[in-house]
Structure formats: structure tokens, C-alpha cells
Homo-oligomer: A and B are copies of this chain.
Amino acid sequence: MTAQTDHSEAKATRTRISVDAMGGDEGPAAVVAGCSLSATLNDDISFILHGDEAQLAPLVARRKELTGRCEVRHATDVVEMDDKPSQVVRTGKDTSMWSAIESVRSGEASVAVSCGNTGALMAMSMIRLRKLPGVNRPAIAVLYPSANPQGFNVMLDVGADIRADADDLLRFALMGTSYARNGLDLPRPRVGLLNVGTEEHKGRSELREAYDLIRDCHEDAGFEFVGFVEGGDISGDSVDVIVTDGFTGNVAIKTGEGTASLIGDRLREAFEYSPLSRLASLLAYTSLMRLRRKIDPRRVNGGVFLGLNGTVVKSHGSADATGVSAAIKLAAQLAESKFNDKLAARVAATLPDGEATG
């Protein structure tokens, strides 16, 4: 069942983004508000919005900036946060998430965005979009605030899979390089392998094996390999791409987010402590807002699924309009740069049949 709100004024050149409007913690209103914000900021994008038409149509109708740029596509079901991925891929055909991925599969949209259940989104994306040739495990990559000139580092995997063997880690290095080159404009990214020490003899056996594989291919693949890095380097300036398994990467980003949030709370308390400190906080208001913009996780919201035939951006489950808008901005950038084609070419070029797997 398809309902087209209005597309009489649609630009032919607009990049279409497929958006799963359901399943986020904040509900469809936050997602529509995010689309609306993005539409205001970027005239070159349009949307296919998947979900319950009865809820979505009135929300879209209230946003003038979405007129002619947002098609609502009805989906009866919603993937819940506690649904099992293995279950959802069998029974989830009527969900907004499935429908959103389907628009990428069919070529109607260049990229899909969802705030829903990460495991289900990855499982569905793998089933419907399929893995790129040469990729065994896809990965989720995020931009992490760092001391580097570009302001961010790329880290992957942060939760597509809880496992990764040495071969997977090598492919993460290649995919991360491609993302850093296209997404952060770094012609020759520095890649590091996350470990508990920087000495070559330390760490799990798959890490020592991955170290050798990555070192041996870095020249041909056009990146620098800085070797093992530690948790502190994720936000540092010694490396641009951090390669790790999805369990470790997921714990690391959530630890970093939690720590940043604790410091933010403590900072507010410090400024509320006395009349003098309250005055200071007024004077420092613009400085603090500037800081907030630099480290606000909502502004770099969006993990990208790498290694599939199509791009899927996973936004935070708790994303508000600003968060959704950030994820859409990232999705649009990646679609416009034809990033996925470049990544596929990079993996294929570096790993001809059998190379580096023996």
C-alpha cells in the first residue's frame, strides 16, 4: 500500500533517502522533525518515509518544507528494540525497517536511515542487500571526536558482530580506509589496530595475526599502518582509523559517551555552585555552546554499515530531531560521493581471490 503525499515539485536531481520512521525511542514525530530540519538545511535531498501512514501523513502535512519532497510508504509493523534479529528476518516483511531497506535494494533510494534495533537492522540489511564480494563480516563504523585536525576518527566495528577474526580485521582496515578517504577527506589515512598495549607481542592471537596481514597490505592499499593502538588513541591524534571487533568497539563508544555525559553534568554543577560561578557561566555561555557543538554526540550521530551492496545509516535509538538530522546529513554525503561503489572497488582491488586469506 503506497501513499504519495505530494511529489509534484520534486527536483529530478534530488538524492532520495529512505527513512524508517518507526522503532526509535522518540517515535515517528522526532524522525519527521529530523527530516524537516534536514530538508531546510539541504535543498538537494528528498525522502521516502516508511511506517504507519495514519501517524505519518498528518506529521508530514504539518511541515511545509517537506511538501513535494516526502513520500510516505505505509508499513503495518514495527521492529521493537527487544525483537531478536534472527526472528525479525523471518517474520519482519511488513515492518517499516524492511520496507526502508527494500527501497535501497530496488534502487529507488541511494541510502537508508533507521533509529531502530541495530541487530535487526544489520540482519535485515545483510539478508536483503547482501555482502560485497570479499567481505565475510560487514561492520558498523562511527565517527568519534578526536584531537586530529579533521575533528574525528573512524572506528569500526562498533557492533555489527561480536566476533571478528584476523581476516575480518584486515577488511575492516580496508573499509575504514575507504570511509576516512571519502568521508573525512584524508588521502592516506593512518590505521591502528586496537589492543591492550602497543607492543607487538601483546594481545589475543587473532590480533597478532591481523597485525601481520594489515602490515603486509598497507602499501598497496594506500594507507599508513601505525600498528597497535590503545583505548586512549580513539580520541587522540596518532591515528585516523581504529580497527577492532564489534564487542570491544561497542563497549568503547558507549564508555566514551557515558564519560562525556558525566563530565557535562559535573560541569553544569560546577557552574551552579556559587553566585560568582553562575555569573561566570553566563559570560562563558557562547564558549560553552561552542564546546558543546564540538563534542555533542547528536551532531555526529550515525553509524554506517560497511561491506554491503548499499549504504545503511544507523542512528541512535534515542535520537531526537537534531540526531536524526545529523544521520540524514551523513547519509546524503555518502550517497552523493558514491562512497559505496568506491569502497567495493577498494576491497576488490586489494583482495583478489585468495590473497591475504591464505
Interface assignment of A280: CB less than 8 Å from any CB of chain B: yes
A203 near B162 (CB under 8 angstroms)? yes
The closest CB in chain B to the CB of A282 belongs to B280
**Copies of this chain, how many?**
2
| A284 and B290 form a contact (CB under 8 A) | no
A277 at the binding interface (Cβ < 8 Å): yes
- A105, chain B: closest CB distance, angstroms: 27
Contact call A254/B231, Cβ cutoff below 8 A? yes
Question: Which residues of B are found within 8 Å of A145, using beta-carbon distances?
Answer: 259, 262
Among A119, A248, A251, the one with the most B-chain Cβ atoms within 10 Å of its Cβ is A251
Pick the interface stretch among A14-22, A218-226, A267-275. A267-275
A281 at the interface (CB under 8 A from B): yes
Q: In the assembly, what is the distance between CA of A345 and CA of B260, in Å?
A: 38
In the complex, the answer to whether B232 meets A257 with C-beta atoms within 8 Å is yes
Q: How far is the CB of A354 from chain B (nearest CB, A)?
A: 30
Residue of B nearest to A230 (CB): B254
Please provide the chain A residues from 326 to 350 with a CB less than 8 Å away from any CB of chain B in the complex. Answer: none
The answer on a CB contact under 8 Å between B270 and A280 is no
- The interface residues of chain B lying within 8 Å CB-to-CB of A291 are 266-267, 269-270
A-side interface mostly: helix
User: Is the CB of A279 closer than 8 A to any CB of chain B?
Assistant: yes
CA distance A280 to B204 in the complex (A): 48
Please name all residues of chain B whose beta carbon is closer than 8 Å to the beta carbon of A290 when the two chains form the complex. Answer: 270, 273
Report which of B203, B247, B259, B270 forms a contact with A196, defined as CB distance below 8 A. Answer: B247
Q: Is the CB of A263 within 8 A of B196?
A: no
Q: Interface stretch among A41-49, A60-68, A173-181, A233-241?
A: A233-241
A283 contacts partner chain B, Cβ-Cβ < 8 Å: yes
Q: Is the CB of A246 within 8 A of B196?
A: yes
* Minimal beta-carbon separation of A297 from chain B (angstroms): 11
* Chain B residues within 8 Å of A254, by CB: 230-232
Q: List 21 A-B contacts (CB under 8 A).
A: A82-B199, A84-B201, A159-B196, A231-B252, A232-B255, A235-B261, A247-B248, A248-B251, A251-B252, A256-B256, A259-B260, A266-B294, A266-B295, A269-B291, A270-B290, A271-B284, A274-B287, A276-B286, A279-B283, A280-B282, A280-B287
Interface on A for B, CB 8 Å cutoff?
82, 84, 119, 145-147, 159, 162, 194, 196-197, 199, 201-204, 230-236, 244, 246-248, 250-263, 265-267, 269-271, 273-274, 276-277, 279-284, 286-288, 290-291, 294-295
